[in-house]
Amino acid sequence: MLGQPMRVKVGSSLTIELAPFAKDEVQSFIKDGGMQLHSVTRYMSTRQAFTAEDEEYWYDQIRKRTDGYTWGIWHVDGVNRKLIGNTALFNLKEVPFRQATSGSAITDQTYWGKGIASAIHKARTWYSFNQLDLSRIKSEVLLPNIGSKKALENSGYYVYQLERNAHFADGKYIHHEVLECLNPREDKWLRWWGDDKPSPEATVARKLTIAALNWADENVTLL
């Protein structure tokens, strides 16, 4: 399924929309290289150079899925709109807790390093907890993709699991970290931990999640 559109303010000059996209627009993900470049896919679990047909097939698959939401990442500049990547919540399940897994890819490298990934994660977290009533969001990052990890941590994700030697790239084995972001609302938080004491990492992350949600209240608008 495609997600409801949201407008996100990034800094003082960038406007990003998380919004649906059409099948004939997925070629943006391979424009100027994109998902065909090692520099874009090196920390993904793939060694494939994607073609227009591959992207269209992927689009057909996400349209059929009923266990999540996918958004295009659009740069909006006045009347001009440019599709620069995508983000998603998937593997949505109801029991024992309502939760999902998240992922993102900015395929246009000219938009890297501008704070867009952090803003997208905050907007998606805000939507997950305020509109979908999720208790938990999972995500994964391959090291040394420090930029992706930092963007997730800015939204209140924290590492709770390490899988060593999970991937091979650039002549060496790479570790794989699994992160989670927990709904900081008191009832959700207490139910998640039950009789256990929250870990110090989770307690610190909770404060960052609250800050991310407060930021989103001011900078994210459902359209």
Q: 162-172 burial by CB neighbour count: b if 16+ within 10 A, else e?
A: eeeebbebeee
Domain ranges of the chain: 6-222
List, for the chain, all residue ranges whose pLDDT scores fall below the cut of 70. none
pLDDT tens for residues 140-153?
999 889 999 999 99
pLDDT tens for residues 69-103?
999 999 999 999 999 999 999 999 999 999 999 99
Cα radius of gyration rounded to whole Å, the chain: 17
Give pLDDT, residue 47: 82
Give pLDDT, residue 139: 97
* Joined tokens for residue 70: 């996918």
Give pLDDT, residue 7: 98
Give pLDDT, residue 142: 92
Count CB atoms within 10 A of the CB of residue 157.
27
- Considering the entire predicted model, what is its pTM? 0.95
CATH superfamily of 6-222: Gcn5-related N-acetyltransferase (GNAT) (3.40.630.30)
Distance set, CA 204 to CA 15, 79, 158, 159, 207 (Å): 29, 41, 9, 12, 6
Query: Is the peptide bond prior to 5 cis by the omega test (within 30 degrees of 0)?
Result: no
